[in-house]
């Protein structure tokens, strides 16, 4: 009879599995009619046949094999129990005995059984599959390793438990669809610029808040305003509700709640906020920026920036030609608008060839690709002579040196690209990245107040810059300064090979220069790329743009950092994204597998060592 037990075991478990599949097909796929009965009954017969054969094998097997056979028989029975539990809560009793379905007479019991039978069946099927795999490896051995069968059983039970847990979590999550926002949130605090504006108020400003009672958004907004109000008694806060104070709402021009109104005299500026706290979080994170804009509209006279066009300069809407692939300066334009400056284009059609219009406060020349007309250079020089303000940002590759305007200011632009082999911003991970200069050396010039205060923490990125020379023999009527210098290992890459060659001197080249002539102010930057939409968000480039704009417009009192709690997006290059993708898909699982192999082999090595030690001890004893 022991020969019977040594015959292949897997065929009967396969029969059991096919029977279960037939029952599932009949009950869940067909669901009704004669086909359901045929499939279900055939499946039950196969399951019962497998159980009967397994019982015979268990009785005929040797003691060691009987353990495996009885274990499989027990799990066969457990699987059959799951089928019985399913039939009890199904509509089968109604079809056979014309009674009421269990879900009508005992709804809680029906629910419990419908949730219980799948894990019971899984607790049977998973160990059966793993036990058969382990049993097959030792089926022809004189004696089987009972421990191997037992380990397979526990592994199957553990796998079933893990699957049940996972499905349970998924079910609970789908039924209790509750979102929990774990993101960091805090309403911004008043920044140094906003505080300085309020501190220097010479006339009262009233802030009227229209919020309903109990509004969480109102609580956050009023906390910010009360903190700001401590800076000056000229800053007053009043509270209203649109529904309760319709007359005041009409006076301020308010048509709904969740609105802040900033008033000075007859001028009103509104700031609307979302009514619900969840949707208002982003607005509250940037509240300081929005409040600062409204205050600047109240306290500053209107000023105009004219950005010159007509010579291939950078634009904020579209390139001047199809061949100009340079990024735009839309972010720079928006930055100026946020500071309440009026920004417009300025060209020969606007009178630049004759004279700079009287309403222009600052003229900005950003990345010209072609020289100006002599009349335009003369107009800019006259603009400087009468106290105008001028921003000039050039590029070495365009070979426009603007000497007609710079020479009278004792400045000279050198259109040779600088490079650095030690300190540079990586973008393509090629040698070409060496022209992406990093600079964080500033002097005490008022044109870089914020950067000078931050020091080495504020680094600029200039993707392809020339440099500026100052004439040491200048006259006293023009004050010249070099507020920004390159890293000391920077050199002029005269032959464009991105490496230092003989004759290419390393030193801290001047990347920017300022010239003050009576009331006139001129800021010259050796790379216009800093103002484009790709470079401006990098490093402290935006802080430089703000510092320079405030200095040129004469608004040094508003220089500083705006407070924000907005999340900074994490950006990767394409290569970095590829590394992260393959690292998470292949590398992380490979590390887990290697760790598991290491632990497994270590355990086997220790067991072999222990067995060898035991054998030597027995040999010595004998």
Residue 515 half-sphere exposure toward CB, CA atoms < 13 A: 30
Average pLDDT, the chain: 86
* pLDDT for the residue 5: 46
Q: Give per-residue pLDDT as tens, 342-363.
A: 999 999 988 898 999 999 999 9
* pLDDT for the residue 4: 47
Name the nearest CA neighbour of 562 among 188, 282, 210: 188
Q: Give per-residue pLDDT as tens, 158-179.
A: 888 988 888 888 877 777 766 6
> Is 84 buried (19+), middle (13-18) or exposed (0-12) by CB count in 10 A?
exposed
* pLDDT for the residue 622: 53
What percent of the chain has a predicted confidence (pLDDT) above 90? Answer: 49
How many C-beta neighbours within 10 Å does residue 412 have? Answer: 17
- Mode of pairing for the β-strands spanning 259-264 and 267-272: antiparallel
* pLDDT for the residue 170: 81
* Structure-token pair, residue 26: 């009949």
For the residues 560-565, what does the mean pLDDT come to? 63
For the residues 547-575, what does the mean pLDDT come to? 73
Tell me the DSSP string of 438-499: EE-EE-S-GGGHHHHHHGGGS-EEEES--EEEE-TT--TTSEEE--EE--TTEEE-TTSSSS
Q: Say which DSSP state 103 is in.
A: H
Q: Is the pLDDT of residue 550 over 50?
A: yes
The torsion angle over the Cα atoms of residues 92, 97, 103 and 108, rounded to 10 degrees, is -100
Helix (H, G, I), strand (E, B) or coil at 394: coil
Least confident of 402-406, 523-527, 585-589: 585-589
What residues contact residue 90 under an 8 Å CB cut-off, 6+ apart? 27
For the residues 508-518, what does the mean pLDDT come to? 95
* pLDDT for the residue 178: 67
* pLDDT for the residue 472: 85
What residues contact residue 561 under an 8 Å CB cut-off, 6+ apart? 191, 192, 193, 450, 543
* Structure-token pair, residue 106: 């005992």
What residues contact residue 496 under an 8 Å CB cut-off, 6+ apart? 417
What's the pTM? 0.61
* pLDDT for the residue 130: 87
For the residues 557-576, what does the mean pLDDT come to? 62
For the residues 545-553, what does the mean pLDDT come to? 94
Between 186 and 216, the more confident residue is: 216
Cα distance between residue 331 and residue 308, in whole Å: 17
Band the pLDDT of 2: cuts 50, 70, 90. very low
Helix (H, G, I), strand (E, B) or coil at 203: coil
What percent of the chain has a predicted confidence (pLDDT) above 70? Answer: 89
Q: Give per-residue pLDDT as tens, 434-470.
A: 999 999 999 999 999 999 988 888 999 999 999 999 9
Between 183 and 414, the more confident residue is: 414
Give φ, ψ of 31 to 5 degrees. Answer: 85, -25
Q: Is the pLDDT of residue 215 over 50?
A: yes
Helix (H, G, I), strand (E, B) or coil at 310: coil
Band the pLDDT of 620: cuts 50, 70, 90. low
* pLDDT for the residue 473: 84
Q: Is the pLDDT of residue 3 over 50?
A: no
How many C-beta neighbours within 10 Å does residue 368 have? Answer: 22
Name the nearest CA neighbour of 127 among 8, 16, 23: 16
Cα distance between residue 70 and residue 81, in whole Å: 16
Q: Give per-residue pLDDT as tens, 65-74.
A: 888 888 889 9
* pLDDT for the residue 564: 58
* pLDDT for the residue 98: 62
Name the nearest CA neighbour of 384 among 371, 365, 368: 365
Least confident of 3-17, 116-130, 235-249: 3-17
Least confident of 257-271, 488-502, 558-572, 598-612: 558-572
First to last CA, the chain: 38
Q: Is the pLDDT of residue 618 over 70?
A: no
Distance of alpha carbon 2 from the chain centroid: 67
Q: Give per-residue pLDDT as tens, 50-102.
A: 999 989 988 888 888 888 888 889 999 998 998 888 888 777 666 666 666 67
Q: What is the phi-psi region of residue 111: left when phi exceeds 0, alpha when psi lies from -120 to 50, beta otherwise? A: alpha
Band the pLDDT of 572: cuts 50, 70, 90. low
Q: Give per-residue pLDDT as tens, 387-400.
A: 999 999 999 999 99
* pLDDT for the residue 381: 95
């Amino acid at each position: 009879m022991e020969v019977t037990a040594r015959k292949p075991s897997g065929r009967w478990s396969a029969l059991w599995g096919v029977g279960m599949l037939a029952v599932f097909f009949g009950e869940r796929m067909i669901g009704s009619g004669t086909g359901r009965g045929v499939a279900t009954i055939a499946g039950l017969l196969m399951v019962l046949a497998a159980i009967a054969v397994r019982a015979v094998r268990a009785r005929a097997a040797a003691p060691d094999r009987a353990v495996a056979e009885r274990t499989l028989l027990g799990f066969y029975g457990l699987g059959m129990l799951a089928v019985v539990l399913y039939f009890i809560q199904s509509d089968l009793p109604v079809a056979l005995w014309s009674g009421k379905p269990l879900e009508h007479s005992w709804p809680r019991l029906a629910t419990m059984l419908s949730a219980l039978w799948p894990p019971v069946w899984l607790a049977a099927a998973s160990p059966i599959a793993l036990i058969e795999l382990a049993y097959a490896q030792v089926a022809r051995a004189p004696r089987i390793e009972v421990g191997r069968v037992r380990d397979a059983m526990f592994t199957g039970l553990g796998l079933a438990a893990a699957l049940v847990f996972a499905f349970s979590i998924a079910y609970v999550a789908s039924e209790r669809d509750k979102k929990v926002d774990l993101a960091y949130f805090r309403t911004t605090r008043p920044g140094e610029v906003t505080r300085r504006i309020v501190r220097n108020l010479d006339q009262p400003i009233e802030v009227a808040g229209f919020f309903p009672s109990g509004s969480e958004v109102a609580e956050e907004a009023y906390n910010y305003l009360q903190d700001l109000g401590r800076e000056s008694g000229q800053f007053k806060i009043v509270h209203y509700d649109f529904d309760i104070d319709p007359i005041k709402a009409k006076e301020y021009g308010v048509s709904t709640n969740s609105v802040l109104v900033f008033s000075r005299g007859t001028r009103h500026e509104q700031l609307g906020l979302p009514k619900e706290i969840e949707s208002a979080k982003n607005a509250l994170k940037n509240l300081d920026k929005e409040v600062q804009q409204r205050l600047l509209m109240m306290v500053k006279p209107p000023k105009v920036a004219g950005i010159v066009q007509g010579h291939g300069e950078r634009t904020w809407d579209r390139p001047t030609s199809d061949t100009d692939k340079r990024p735009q300066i839309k972010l720079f334009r928006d930055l100026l608008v946020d500071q309440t400056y009026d920004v417009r284009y300025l060209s020969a059609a606007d009178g630049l060839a004759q004279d700079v219009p009287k309403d222009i406060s600052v003229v900005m020349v950003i990345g010209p690709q072609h020289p100006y007309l002599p009349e335009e250079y003369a107009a800019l020089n006259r603009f400087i002579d009468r106290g105008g303000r001028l921003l000039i940002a050039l590029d070495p590759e365009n070979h426009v040196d603007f000497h007609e305007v710079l020479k009278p200011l004792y400045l000279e632009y050198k259109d040779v690209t600088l490079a650095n082999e030690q300190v540079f911003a990586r973008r393509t991970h090629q040698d070409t990245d060496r022209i992406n200069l990093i600079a964080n050396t500033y002097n005490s010039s008022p044109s870089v107040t914020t950067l000078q205060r931050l020091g080495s923490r504020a680094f600029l990125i200039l993707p392809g810059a020339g440099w500026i020379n100052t004439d040491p023999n200048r006259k006293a009527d023009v004050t010249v300064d070099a507020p920004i210098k390159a890293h000391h290992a920077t050199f002029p890459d005269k032959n464009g090979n991105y490496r230092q060659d003989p004759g290419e001197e390393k030193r801290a080249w001047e990347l920017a220069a300022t010239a003050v002539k009576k009331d006139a102010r001129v800021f010259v930057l050796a790379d216009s790329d800093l103002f484009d939409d790709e470079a401006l968000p990098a490093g402290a480039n935006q802080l430089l743009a703000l510092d320079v704009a405030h200095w040129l417009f004469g608004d040094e009192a508003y220089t500083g950092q705006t407070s924000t709690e907005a999340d900074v997006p994490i950006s990767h290059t394409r290569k970095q994204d590829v590394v992260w993708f393959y690292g998470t898909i292949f590398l992380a699982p490979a590390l887990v597998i290697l760790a598991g192999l290491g632990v497994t082999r270590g355990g086997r090595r220790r067991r072999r060592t222990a067995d060898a030690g035991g054998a030597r001890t027995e040999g010595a004893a004998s």
